[in-house]
Each structure stands twice: as C-alpha cells, then as structure tokens.
Structure 1
Amino acid sequence: MTDSLISSAYSQALEVIASVEPRIADATRKELADQRASLKLIASENYASPAVLMTMGTWFSDKYAEGTIGHRFYAGCQNVDTVESIAAEHARELFGAEYAYVQPHSGIDANLTAYWSILAHRVEGPWLSDAGVKNMNDLSEADWEKLRASLGNQRLLGMSLDAGGHLTHGFRPNISGKMFHQNQYGTDPETGLLDYDALRAKAKEFKPLILVAGYSAYPRRINFATMREIADEVGATLMVDMAHFAGLVAGKVFTGEENPVPYAHVVTSTSHKSLRGPRGGFILATEEYAPSVDRGCPMVLGGPLSHVMAAKAVAFAEARTPEFQGYAQQVADNAKSLAEGFLTRGAKLVTGGTDNHIVLLDVSSFGLTGRQAESALLDAGVVTNRNSVPSDPNGAWYTSGIRFGTPALTSRGFGHDEFDTVADLVVDVLSNTEAGTNKAGAPSKATYVLGDGVADRVTKQSAEMLDKHPLYPGLVLS
C-alpha cells in the first residue's frame, strides 16, 4: 500500500466525518498529532497498522451476529462467518492452539468468558449429569438454587495486584473477586520474583478450581510447565492471561516452557498491546474446553463486533510474518536497554531488571509517588502510567511505581541508543521533581513541583528522536 493511497484514504475519511461532526474530525487529527509528538511508553499501548485500522471502518459494523459460526441467531451472517473463521484460523496457526475464539470485545470480556466456560465445564456439566438432566431449563427451582450456589462458590488463585497481577485475577473490587472465593499469590519480598515453591504450597492449602497465571506488571518471564504441574497437583484448571505478552509468544521470543499455549487449558489475551492489532480480546483452548468456550454468547457476550473480528484477522496475518518475529525480539531487546539505562543512572527497578517488554521503576527513591511521577513525566511529553510495586505503601491509586513498556516505540523504530536516551530523560524529569503540598500546606501524594525549564528541555530532546522515527511515515492529512 503506497503512502499516497493511505494519505488519500484517511484525508477523505476525515472529510466525510467533518461533514457531520467537525469536532470529531478535529479531535481525530489532534490525536494523531499528539501521538506523533509523545514518547509513548505505556506497556498496554501500541500502534496498529493502517490495514488493521482501515479494516475496522467498514459495514461489518452494521451486522448483528450472536451465536457461533454457522449457528447464528440472526439471518444473513454468511460473510461474518467467513471473517470469524479466517480470524480463528490465523489465531490457531499463529499460536499453535487447538481452538480459538475471537469474539470477546476486550481482555476483561475474554477473562469473564473463560471463567464461566471453566465453571460450565468443571461444575455445571458434571452437576447436570449427576442430576440426570441435559440443561438448566430442566432443573427444578430447588435444584437450580443448589447449582447456582455451587457455581458461585468456587475457588480461584491468582497473582496479587501489587505483585504484578491484573484486576481480573481476583482483585476484590473487580467482578472476578466477587464471583469467586479468591486467594492470591505474590512474589518473593527480597527479589520480587515468583517463588514457585511458595505458590505450590499455597495452592495445596487453598485447592483452587482455577489457577490463573499471567501478569499486567511483572517484568519477568514465567515457567508455565511448572505452573501446569502445580495446577495438576491440586486438580485445578490452568488459565493463562497473556494479554500483555501475546506478541512475544506470537513472535517466538517466548518458546518452550515460557510459551503458555502447550501447558494451559485455557489462554486469554487481548489483540492489541504487544500483538499490535485492534482493541479486542480472544481465547485459545484445548479441545476439551472448546465446547464451553464456544458458548461465550449468550453465556457472557452479546453480539460480536464483526468489524473488529475482521481487523483481528488482518493483525494475526501480519503477526505470522518473519518481520513480526524480528519486531517482537526487538521489543524484548529494547526493554533490556531501557532497564540498563535506568540502572546505570542509579534508579531502582522491581526485580532488578526485565526479560520481557515491561520495566517497573520504583520512584520512591526520588521521593515521589507514582501519581506525582506520572504527572511530571506527562508534562514533559513522556506518556506512562503509575503502577503498584510489591507491598506498595501508597496503595493502588497513588502507587510507588511507574510501568514502562517498549512495544509502541519499537514500532516506531527505536533501538538501543534511543531507549538509553529515554532512560536519561525520565531520570532527568524525576530528579528535578519534588513532592508538593495541598492547599493547607500538608504533604500531598498527588501534587508536585517540576523544576523550571525541565519540561521544555526534555520535550525538545524527545522531539529530536521522534522526528527521526516518524509515526505512520508518509501519512499526510490534507
């Protein structure tokens, strides 16, 4: 696809939008300008290709298609069947999975679908069989109450939020923490690393129905063979949430025992982040769990977003190329460069480094909270997000950490030297930021004072790097 063709397509599309609501067209143009001018270091964000982005803007958006391939609740879904089949085929081939389900709208939808699918497979199915009925509609009201109580009283063991887990891994305020009798495993207090022996001991004591592996802010790899051993020892289903590192699995950076697909019963993921596709979710599973997962609609989901499933198919096709494997390896290499850049400048990292795409910086050594650091960095054009660190004294809102990710800037062509400079710029900002006070003069976890001239200096240095690695090069909006 030529640059002129892409530029023409987007320019004309924005003209059509502006004819109806010019403010939306203006905001869209500004978003591109802002992303081009920012050092995007949020680990869960990336840049989708023009082909992926364009695929979402089609008339597939107009179609209702509840159900499964060949078995829809609406007529006229033959083209949706084609799109979903292609996306699932690419997902299976890309990850070497027995089954793929591409309908989930997001990562949390994928996790909810997976949880209820496991409950249906492990609890509902055997329960109905023992009751001598085929489905819940045949149960008496009394039996239904017993089944409902059984479904809602199962045990889930997941990684704690401050250790790097996700909200959907049993965090109490999240629905996953409400629908399960949940418990959490953490990391070694000295190293910040997963302690598999401690995890195994907790699993044997708690005996979960579901053991969740995966992370949102853990900067290391996981041995999924060991996780499967632990799950088997306690009779649990191993579910892996690889939303953050799916691109590293697809790109063959995580192989062997670090690849969750051969070991997990069910794998959930998003299609964006390190995978560089559209915002959405998907599920991989063994054949044993496939029938339950296939009931995602109407069990949890409504109508699938057919235009996004089409974009997932395009993104999965892109990820099956040698070029994507090179990109994925560069993501991991760049994370090491960023971590080394921080360490050589005296910054403190959770676990002391990284071997995936995440670098977690403990900003307490700068006398700041995560919220103060995040805001000061944003003033200087460095886009990050605050994040908890293990046993965080500031909790999940203010936090003591900043999470960095390398996928987005790697998509722009950043390499070792640029990420070393990024580390220097971040340390420059944080070293020149002081904690502020509230209106009464008391210490505040939110306010801060950034030194004079720092934001301008860092923004100028960032711009020099960004200009060398333009976002969507050749895309010019008229």
Structure 2
Amino acid sequence: MTSVSASGQGAEYAATASEAYQAALRVIETVEPRVAEATRKELADQRDSLKLIASENYASPAVLLTMGTWFSDKYAEGTVGHRFYAACQNVDTVEALAAEHARELFGAPYAYAQPHSGIDANLVAYWAILATMVEAPGLAEMGAKHINDLSEADWEKLRAKLGNQRLLGMSLDTGGHLTHGFRPNISGKMFHQRQYGTDPTTGFIDYDAVAASAREFKPLVLVAGYSAYPRRVNFAKMREIADEVGATLMVDMAHFAGLVAGKVFTGDEDPVPHAHVVTTTTHKSLRGPRGGLVLATEEFAPAVDKGCPMVLGGPLSHVMAAKAVALAEARQPEFRTYAQAVADNAQALADGFVKRDAGLVTGGTDNHLVLLDVTSFGLTGRQAESALLDSGIVTNRNAIPADPNGAWYTSGIRFGSPALTTRGFGADEFDRVAELVVEVLSNTQPAAGPNGPSKAKYTIADGVADRVHAAASELLEANPLYPGLTL
C-alpha cells in the first residue's frame, strides 16, 4: 500500500530533514561522539526490525526536531498567562496551541497539555477528581470557604476523606494498566481499590458484571480504558454504570487515542462525549512525542489546571511544542486514512494468526492490538519475545487473563499495528508478518536452566532466525522508515 507516514511528505521534506539531522549530529559529536553514534545506530536498528510493540510508533521529523530547541531551557510552572516565572510568553503560545489542537481534534471542552507521560496524566486526573468531588464538599462540611482556613484537626479529617476513596478499574491481567488500581502502583495505594475483569469464556468485558461490582463497591472513580484488551469499549454503557452509582467516569485512552482522533471510534466507542475526564499519551497511536494530555469537562478543569504544582514539576516546554505539531498533523485528513489503516491492519494480523491456528485472546481484535496466547507453542511470553527478537521481530510479552506465569514471564505476546502502518504496511504484509511469527514460535523450544526447567531459556531450530530475519528485511526494504532521510 502507499505509505501513510507523517514522514512521507516528499523529497524536499526528506532532504531538509536530512540536513537538519546531519548538522545536529555533527554538533553532538563535538561534545560526546558516542551519543551521536548511538543515535545513528538507533535509527538503523529501527529501520531493520519489524516493530510490533503496540505502544510504540514513529514520530515525524517535524515532531522530533521540535523537541530539540531552546524551549528545553525554560521553567514555566503555572498555566498560560499565569506563570511563576517571567518571560514565558512564547511557552504560553505553544502550550495554548497544543491545548487548542487537542480540544478541536477530540471535541473536548478543555485540554491540559502539561503531563510528562501517561502516568503523570492519570495522577493529575485522579487528584483533580479527588479535589473536585471530595475536597470542595469537605471544606463546606467543615465551615471553611478556603483550604487555608482549615485547622490542623480539619486537615486530618480532610486527609482521611481524600485517602479513603474507592476506585474500580480493569485488572492488569485482563488488559488494564498499572495505573488503574494495580496494588503495587501508586494508584492502588492512594485509593481503596477493586478491579473488574472480563468474561472467562469470551474474554470480553461483561458490562453487567461491571455494573454489579460498581453497585456493591460504590466507587468514587470508575476507570475505563486498557493497555492490552483487543476489543472496543462501549463508553456509553460505562457512563450509565458510573451515573447509577454516583461515580466519576475516567477513561484512559492512551493506547487508542489515534483511533479516536482518526474517527475510527465514534458514537458509543468515543470516550470523550461520555467521560468526565479522559487521559492519554501523545505517542503510541497518536504518533507524537512522549508525553500526556488530560481532557475534561468544565467541572474538572480548574482542578486539572493545578496539575503543576499538585503532581507535576516544571512543564517540558519543548515537548509541549512537539505536542502542538503532532496534534496539528493529526487534524489533517491523511491522519484519518492512517487511523483506519491501523485498525484494518490489526484485523489482517489477527486473521493471519487465526488461519494458522495460533490462539488469540478473545479470538481476534477490533482495535489496534492483538494478544497472542503462546502456551499452545509450549512457550512462556518471555521465551517467545526473545526468540522473535532474535529473528528481527520486536514485540513485548504480556500477561493474559488468569495467567499461570505471572506478570514477569507471562503467557502472552502483545502485537500492535500502528508503527508498521506508519511505514506503509498493508493487509498482505501483516498476513506475512503473522506467518513469520508462527514460523519462529513453531520452531522454538523451551530449554533447561542450570537448576531444571526454565521459563526464560529457549532454543530455535537451526537457520530459522536467520531465514525469518531475511524475510523481515525484505518487507522493511519495501516500506522504508523516513524515506529519503540520510545520516
């Protein structure tokens, strides 16, 4: 298929980007040549591997170059027009642009562009919900108009209120994220938490079961969204559940934000019209810089605006500038073509696995990711991930529902279509990728460690890794990364 890459904007664009990177690397070499060499090698490695990690993508040269500017030198705590440092007028411009593009792209009343990552965005969201839903009523109950009016005894009461709230989120092994209430994560410590799962037979979310759990648990926050659930979510139903029990609906769309932006997910599957607060990363399927966003209704906007200093340190002004560029790219008609191709290609990959009798969690996909159960190959996720890497295929191991191998070794491999779609891969190429994956895993065997059976060690049949790597290279050469860009 023709490349839909944001980097594929023609020979003049590529030549200009090449000049910029060549000059930048020459400057870096004068100080630390090993960093320049590692940078060149990273591009070479990415060009020579099938990147199938669902949370990774390729940002355009325009986005990448935006991060390497003197905006990096600025401190800008506060918000647009209300900074705690002087001379932030240019930071105000780029932050306002990033927020404007985010509001327009997603149809959100309010957008906050300062979070450094998806986890930071979730922490900002959680504390904003606590401050809005608990702190303000708590002040009224204590007869105070402002938080500074509280006595130490009142503070103790308020801390108890803030610290004993309930959160209901999707469990990690059924596709949720660490920040959705997983006990070892800060989200599982700051809330009294409970988790919902999926139907043990189908692997799909059981909305009736979620509703029953919410009625019993009565959470302040109901979290929807996922990092390894290969299906769409009905956010209208999740909002109905939240409203019934008086919960705030927060949606983490970090993984599928590109499908929302590209209008692949609309109606009940678009979280923005239904959630009180929506968080996302700006990389992954959005194809921007590493960072986060918070979208919210007007009710929560004042508290979200206090993300710095409530949770965040100084905003990364150079990254906010890059967010503005990436979001501007995502508002172009070409991005909708890309987003639809991401979903179509994930379907082609899933179909390729199914017809080769490889077991998939939920039996398929209707978003951007595919979760392969590797137990049918007699492997752990750790063994499968390593064998694929030896063969030029970059993936990540991932837990599956009720995973017998736990979160470290796992029993699954998660695949995503965003990055290779950016390179121009289409359905035929993704079917070929499925064929190569199955070839590697079918020819990989567990190996014993020094103390008996190992969940990490493995052997690949002679010649398989080299043969698959060569086949992968053919696919990659036909779909070059940053075509025309030379270092």
> What TM-score do you get using the length of structure 2 for normalisation?
0.97
Q: Which residue of 2 aligns with 1:226?
A: 237
- Per the alignment, residue 481 of structure 2 pairs with 471
Query: How far apart in 2 are the matches of 1:134 and 1:355?
Result: 49
Task: Provide the alpha-carbon RMSD of the alignment.
Answer: 0.6
- Cα shift at 1:130: 2.0
Paired residue type of 2:92: D
2:281/2:292 contact within 8 Å kept: yes
The answer to whether the aligner puts 1:452 opposite 2:468 as a matched pair is no
Residue matched to 1:313: 324
Whether 2:453 is the aligned partner of 1:443: answer: yes
Equivalent residue letter for 1:246? A
**Whole-angstrom distance in 1 between the partners of 2:440 and 2:370:** 17
Confirm whether residue 278 of structure 1 aligns to residue 283 of structure 2.
no
Number of positions where the alignment pairs a residue of Structure 1 with one of Structure 2: 476
Aligned counterpart for 2:199 among listed residues 159, 163, 188 = 188
Q: Is the 8 A contact 2:346 2:370 kept in 1?
A: yes
* Contact persistence 2:395–2:414 (CA under 8 A): yes
The Cα shift of 1:348 comes to: 0.1
Q: Does 1:109 pair with 2:120? A: yes
Aligned equivalents of 1:379 and 1:269: distance in 2? Answer: 32
Structure 1 residue 461 corresponds to structure 2 residue 464: no
CA drift at 1:133: 2.0
Q: Deviation per CA, 1:345-402, whole angstroms, max 9, x where unpaired?
A: 0100000000000000000000000000001000001000000000111111110000
Distance 1:206 1:402 in 2: 33
Return the alpha-carbon distance in structure 2 between the equivalents of residues 311 and 293 of structure 1: 21
Q: Confirm whether residue 353 of structure 1 aligns to residue 380 of structure 2.
A: no
Q: 2:257 is matched with which residue: 246, 257, 262?
A: 246
Q: Structure 1 residue 5: deviation in Å?
A: 1.2
Tell me the SS of whatever aligns to 1:342: helix
Q: Secondary structure at the match of 1:122?
A: helix
Quote the residue 2:130 is aligned against. Answer: 119
Query: 2-side partners of 1:146 and 1:2: how far apart?
Result: 59
Partner Cα distance (1:109, 1:456) in 2: 41
Judge conservation of contact 2:255–2:285 (CA < 8 Å) in 1. yes
The within-5 A match list for 1:82-97 is 82-97=93-108
The aligned amino acid for 1:471 is L
Q: Partner amino acid for 1:151?
A: L
Corresponding residue for residue 138 of structure 1: 149
Give me the whole-angstrom Cα distance separating, in 2, the residues matched to 1:237 and 1:306.
Answer: 30
How far is the alpha carbon of 1:134 from its aligned partner?
A: 3.3
Residues 14 and 482 of structure 2 are in contact (CA less than 8 Å); yes or no, is this contact kept in structure 1?
no
Residues in 1 aligned to 2:457 and 2:24: alpha-carbon distance in whole angstroms = 41
Distance of 1:32 and 1:134 partners within structure 2: 56
Q: CA deviation at 1:118?
A: 0.1
Measured in 1, the distance between the counterparts of 2:308 and 2:13 equals: 39
Q: Per-residue displacement from partner, 1:108-139 (whole Å, max 9, x unpaired)?
A: 00000000000000000111122222333321
Tell me which amino acid in the other structure corresponds to 1:353. G
How do 1:153-232 and structure 2 match up within 5 A?
Answer: 153-232=164-243
Q: What do the CA deviations read for 1:209-247 (whole angstroms, capped 9, x no partner)?
A: 000000000000000000000000000000000000000
1:292 match: secondary structure: helix
Residue of 363, 378, 384 corresponding to 2:389: 378
Counterpart amino acid of 2:99?
A: A
Q: Does 1:415 find its partner at 2:426?
A: yes
Distance in 2 (alpha carbons) for counterparts of 1:111 and 1:4: 39
TM superposition outliers: structure 1 runs of 4+ over 4 Å: none
Letter aligned with residue 319 of structure 2: V
Identity percentage of aligned residues: 78
1:2-81 alignment, distance < 5 Å: 2-81=13-92
**Residue pair 2:124, 2:307 contacting (<8 A) in 1 also:** yes
CA shift for structure 1 position 434: 0.4
Q: Which residue of 2 aligns with 1:261?
A: 272
CA distance in structure 2 between the aligned counterparts of 1:283 and 1:467, rounded to whole angstroms: 38
C-alpha distance in structure 2 between counterparts of 1:231 and 1:240, whole Å? 12
